[in-house]
Structure 1
Amino acid sequence: MADGLTIGQAAAHVGVTIKTVRHYHRLGLVAEPERDHSGYRRYRSADLYRLVQVRTLAASGVPLAEIAELLDAGPERFAATLVEVRRGLTEQIEDLTARRDRLDRLDHGDRALLPDRACAVLERLAGLGFHPEYVAGQREALVLAGALAPQLFDSFLNRLEHSLEDPEFVEVTKLCFDARSWDPHDSRIAGLASAMADRLLADRALLETPAGFHDGPDGEARYGLVNHHREDLAPSIARLNTLVEAHLRAAGIEVPHR
């Protein structure tokens, strides 16, 4: 190697492309070798050593703009910079791991958007014979609650869990879902609303909303988006819910007005 290597040979030995070597030259990270009598630049061992240093630091995550200063710095500065690089890589690894875990959850349907406890409630609904469309509506409502009204999420989930242990509530709820095909002025809706309100009022503590939720400027809007989800698809359900809420207010339960 008395005469040195061409840029192509040097790049191949170091494990980068010719374009990368030239980029390092433009940034001043590696000095361009002198040309020989034939007009070719020849890379010698010192040049290759510098190329290896730059390539290794760049591959480790050190920004190219910082490499020259780092290589020319003393041992303490060099060590401190490597600590920062290691910290940054650790944060990137944690972020990528979290993304991978979220992708893994996508393989399990609901678990991509909901905690395991909520998924268990949805599985319980299906096991109790609720219509798949009703289960889908509850799934969407839980997702909306978690995103738009996180203060309500636990209370919403608590109410669902408790209600599913009450056979009467389960039957009334199924009847309410069946009412989606009724005329909104059907006389049966009033009786159904009264029955649903009675089941809800059987445990008033579950109807309490977190302190301060109603004080927010958009509390009513967020409540409506969650509790009245899908009403626009079934006018009879909208009327049913309106009557249920009226019963609850008459019983002293604070329910946001729409």
Structure 2
Amino acid sequence: MADGLTIGQAAAFVGVTIKTVRHYHRLGLVAEPERDGSGYRRYGSADLLRMVQVRTLAGAGVPLAEIGDLLDADPERFAAALDDVHRRLNERIEDLIARRDTLHRLTRGDRALLPDRACAVLDRLADLGFSADYLAGQREALVLARALVPEIFESFLIRLEHGLEDPEYVELTKRGWDARSWDPGDPRLEELACALAGKLLANRALLAMPTGFQNQSDAASRYGLVNHHREDQEPSIARLNGLVEANLRAAGIDVPHQ
């Protein structure tokens, strides 16, 4: 009986495939045994030990390209290399957890695109009885604000949160949404715009733009894309928003001109 194991036997004992063993050979991780008189390569216990070491390190996340040097390293270098592998694995784990959380949030629609605080604002709007159409528009505006004007996203949220605590502002906002059915020339729009602007001006500090934002060449365009979202579909809402902005500018608030 020939001494040693065939490649198929060695692979089975170690728990890998023949293809994997041959890959180890090509990478120089495991030396190829000499052929016996029958032309077969025979694997001994030292070969199997090396295969088990390679398989174990690879299974622990060590790249195959690094395993050869690792196995040939002294104990100190080996320990340092394993620490580095441990660090990289932790980074991968954190990345995978973040991806898993994103997938979980995707099952909740646009909430994958918004932080929890913004989602809480949307939930509050729903609790206050705002229509599904209004919620959809606000959700889109929040997504756009976060992407296009991250400099003012935080203040945008604060202003919304503050406004939703004021029953009068909530009712004015609902009336403003109902005004989409009005004629753009309806004089009631001016009265409503004045009332809305007055509520906003009661907390002027919340209307302040971040330092330097206005000096950015594309600031007005980015701001306008968010603040005037969907206006092309609602002419009366476009007029109402324009009147509110005009009232704010007249009161000294530096609202970006698109």
Deviation, 1:8, is: 1.0
Q: After superposition, where does 1:59-208 map in structure 2 within 5 Å? A: 59-109=59-109, 111-208=111-208
Q: TM-score, normalised by structure 1?
A: 0.92
Aligned partners of 1:52 and 1:256: how far apart in 2?
Answer: 67
The residue identity in structure 2 corresponding to 1:26 is R
Deviation, 1:225, is: 2.0
Q: Name the count of aligned residue pairs.
A: 258
Aligned partners of 2:129 and 2:98: how far apart in 1?
Answer: 35
Match of 2:238 in 1: 238
Deviation, 1:244, is: 1.2
For residues 96-126 of structure 1, the C-alpha deviation after alignment (integer angstroms, 9 at most, x for no partner) is: 1222223333345554333333222222211
> What secondary structure does 2:214 align onto?
helix
Identity %: 74
For residues 97-156 of structure 1, the C-alpha deviation after alignment (integer angstroms, 9 at most, x for no partner) is: 222223333345554333333222222211221111111211222222222222212221
The residue identity in structure 2 corresponding to 1:81 is A
Q: Is the 8 A contact 1:183 1:236 kept in 2?
A: yes
Aligned partners of 2:246 and 2:91: how far apart in 1?
Answer: 51
The residue identity in structure 1 corresponding to 2:185 is H
Aligned partners of 2:72 and 2:166: how far apart in 1?
Answer: 74
- Give the gaps of 5 or more residues in structure 2: none
Q: Is the 8 A contact 1:57 1:67 kept in 2?
A: yes
For residues 205-246 of structure 1, the C-alpha deviation after alignment (integer angstroms, 9 at most, x for no partner) is: 222222222122221122112211221221221122111111
Aligned partners of 2:8 and 2:210: how far apart in 1?
Answer: 69
Aligned partners of 2:120 and 2:92: how far apart in 1?
Answer: 32
Q: After superposition, where does 1:9-20 map in structure 2 within 5 Å? A: 9-20=9-20
The residue identity in structure 1 corresponding to 2:161 is E
Task: Note if 1:34 corresponds to 2:55.
Answer: no
Match of 1:55 in 2: 55
Q: TM-score, normalised by structure 2?
A: 0.92
**Structure 1 stretches of 4+ moved >6 Å:** none
- Give the gaps of 5 or more residues in structure 1: none
The residue identity in structure 2 corresponding to 1:32 is E
Aligned partners of 1:86 and 1:121: how far apart in 2?
Answer: 40
Q: Is the 8 A contact 1:110 1:119 kept in 2?
A: no
Deviation, 1:18, is: 0.8
The residue identity in structure 1 corresponding to 2:114 is L
Q: Is the 8 A contact 1:179 1:237 kept in 2?
A: yes
The residue identity in structure 2 corresponding to 1:201 is L
> What secondary structure does 1:88 align onto?
helix
Aligned partners of 2:28 and 2:58: how far apart in 1?
Answer: 14
